[in-house]
Chain A
Amino acid sequence: MTNRETSGTESRPAPLTTRVFFNLVPLVVILAGFGLFAFVVFVDFSRQVRDRMEMNQRLDLLADQVGANLSHLQSFLISNEFPRGFSTAEQEKLQEYLDEVTDDIDRLANLDTTQNSAAFFPKLRAAEEELYTALRDLSPGDSLQPKRAEWIAALNRLDRLLEEVGLANKAGAVQTEKLFDQLHRRVVTALVGGGSIAVIVAGLCCYFLARSILRPIHDLTNATSKIAEGQLDHRVSTRSADELGKLALAFNRMADRLQAFRRSQDETVVRAHQFMEATITSFPDPVFIFDQKQVLKLKNAAATDLLAAVGVHPDGIPPEIKEFLQRVFEGGESVPAEKYGDALTWRIRGRKKFFLPRAVMIERDSLVTGVALVLYDVTGFRLMDEVKSSMIGTVSHEIKTPLTSVSMVLHLLVEESVGPLSEEQRELVETALDDTTRLMDVVNDLLDMSRIEQGRVVLDFEPTDLGDWLQEVCEEFDTVLEARGQHIRLDLDEKVSQVWIDRQRMANAIRNLIENAHKYSPPDTEIELTLRQDGAERVQLSVSDRGAGIPEEIHDKVFEKFYRAPGLEEPGTGLGLSLTREIVRAHSGSITVRNRPDGGAEFTLHLRRQPHECKKEKEDSGR
């Protein structure tokens, strides 16, 4: 019941097999009809042929028989002169012959239906009648002589007539042949015509079958290829409700969804591209995007202006940028903009302009696909930096000279070379001397900083066994550390190779770190110095303490000039770490800070075995 209802509500399409079957039925009917027609025509034809032939044969046989009987009669009449008339037996014999001839002619007349021979039958019958009448009246013993010539003449006439009948019959046979020809032609025409019609109908059937089955498949194949080529708006026309129609519908639904998906994807990409372009364009600094072959792919308005101002062709790239890119691609890593000394310079409208290049690698699946290059216009900053640096230099000098005499005076007083001091005086002078020394350190730091920043310091690189050298540096601190119950633990990897350093500057850097560790660690703790090889070309040197550590959020700031972490009680200028970083950078190295998991801060220097500058120097001196 349920099944019947379901099947009733569904518009069930004619299955494909049914359609194939119904398409083939007309073909089968046509072929069967044509076969039947050919059979009927053939049977009729053969029947007519058989009838004709039979009749002709019988006619021939009868004509022959009549001819034979007439011959018997003739020879009977000619051979017997019947002088005495003929006997009863002879008459009976004659009568018998006569009857036979008569019967034969009758049969012949009945048989032949052809018009040609039919015309002879009245004559035949008349001649026969005449002979019969002549012979019938004879009585035995009658002289036959007088009548004989008459009989023979009658017989001859009959004979001639029979010959004519035979001729007519032959003519009839020729006619029959013609009739056969006609029949044959008609049969052939009928068969050829019927066959042609059958072929045409079969062709039409095949055409419609192919159209109804193969065309949708062909359409689907076409549509699939077009969609594969990217023409997502292509659809298949659905003509039927069968399996192919359903397939076409499903295909179209799939194409719809594909198209919708593609459209939303396209929109996302277009929007992202627009955002990106707007972002780059709104950037006040020149931005260039290069592909992995260093071909310029995109630039913003500021970049176009810069190229025009520099006097480079709009599609060209200034050699300074090319050189920088070359370095970036060779290094294979992003280059942050940091030192003003690295700025690219151009003379634009009579003024020297400084641009700090920052290169960001564009990577996909860890493959470099391009580089985004931003040129920060740092002309203003650079000038300020120069003014500041030269000011620091001048001010430091102006402070250092009077400080030298103050320190000399205090030294002379403490030495008591100008007279003895009381205990109180000594204490006061010593305090003043300590502060003067501290002040001098600050001034020296400032000077060093300004010199290094301006690139005025020429480092004196020497190959150094870091282990031994570190031990020497640390020994300086023994007394100071002991006062607080602290000590340094050296953890030195003996396999560390020789490193090229400016010993005096690097010692300053390490001293700053040890002093910090000393200041910010509680009493009776350990300061740890670790030296490790890091690959063939680098070493790592760490100084770690047992203090409170440094809050993560200020890790980046601790290396800034004059930066002092909030809440520090220990005196300091905020220059030590900054100077240390500058010294390490001048050695082509870097410095990082982290908090140890077990407490305390750890500063690590990442040093090259042979710094870039050192290599250059060696090359220069080698020339």
Chain B
Amino acid sequence: MSAKKKKKILVVDDERSLRLTFRYALASEDMEIFEAIDGETALRWLEEQSCHLIFLDQQMPGKNGSEVLREIRERGDLTPVVGVSAYGTPDLKEKVASLGCSRFLHKPVTPDQLRRVAQDLLDQEA
């Protein structure tokens, strides 16, 4: 029962240290964290599985955050997405918002911020 209730969260970031710290920050009994090292991996993972929330880094080698987001939405996948960037200009924020990005977080983020945002969005979905 409890295993069924676990919310799946996908963290997409090319930086291993960030994936790791996100995992530790969000880790809890009712959350299951998955990682993708770039956009391609994330899109492939999403073809096979679904999740409740995606943390999506914007600056990545290969496909960048907004390109990945566009593809997700083009598939009709409406999973909430939180954009994360170290260099988030208002333009970028606006662009990803128009693609259906629910929230935007500027690096550095604190574990508290991550948890709050995640909780908010998961509650809304529920």
Contacts and interface: CB of A to CB of B under 8 A. Distances in A.
Q: Do A and B come from one complex?
A: yes
Contacts of B109: 404, 408
Interface stretch (A376-384, A393-401, A555-563): A393-401
B46 interface: no
Contacts of A396: 87
Nearest to A417: B24
A417 B112 CA distance: 12
A411 B89 CA distance: 26
Contacts, number: 62
Interface string A402-446: 111101110110010110000000000000000000001000000
Given A397-B59, A412-B25, A405 B86 contact: no
A409 B75 CA distance: 35
Contacts of B86: 397, 400-401, 404
B108 A440 contact: yes
B24 A404 contact: no
Contacts of B25: 408, 411-412, 417
A404 B87 contact: no
Contacts of B112: 411
A81 interface: no
Overall SS of chain A's interface: helix
Interface string B7-21: 000000001011011
Given A400-B86, A401-B86, A451-B89, A417 B17 contact: no
B110 interface: yes
Contacts of A364: none
B107 A456 contact: no
Interface in A452-473: 456-458, 460
Interface string B85-109: 0110111000000000000000111
Interface string A263-277: 000000000000000
Contacts of A417: 24-25, 27, 111
A418 B112 CA distance: 15
Nearest to A406: B17
B59 A403 contact: no
Contact of A405 (B18, B27, B87): B18
A440 B111 CA distance: 16
B17 A402 contact: yes
A447 interface: yes
Given A408-B21, A408-B25, A412-B21, A403 B89 contact: no
Contacts of B91: 458
A407 B24 contact: no
Nearest to B94: A458
25 contacts: A393-B87, A397-B86, A400-B108, A401-B86, A401-B107, A404-B18, A404-B86, A404-B107, A404-B108, A405-B15, A405-B17, A407-B110, A408-B21, A408-B25, A409-B17, A411-B111, A412-B24, A412-B25, A412-B111, A417-B27, A417-B111, A440-B108, A447-B87, A458-B91, A460-B90
Interface of A: 393, 396-397, 400-405, 407-409, 411-412, 415, 417-418, 440, 447, 451, 456-458, 460
Given A393-B87, A401-B15, A408-B111, 18 more contacts: A397-B59, A397-B86, A401-B18, A401-B86, A401-B107, A403-B108, A404-B107, A408-B22, A409-B21, A411-B110, A412-B21, A412-B111, A417-B24, A417-B27, A417-B111, A451-B89, A458-B90, A458-B91
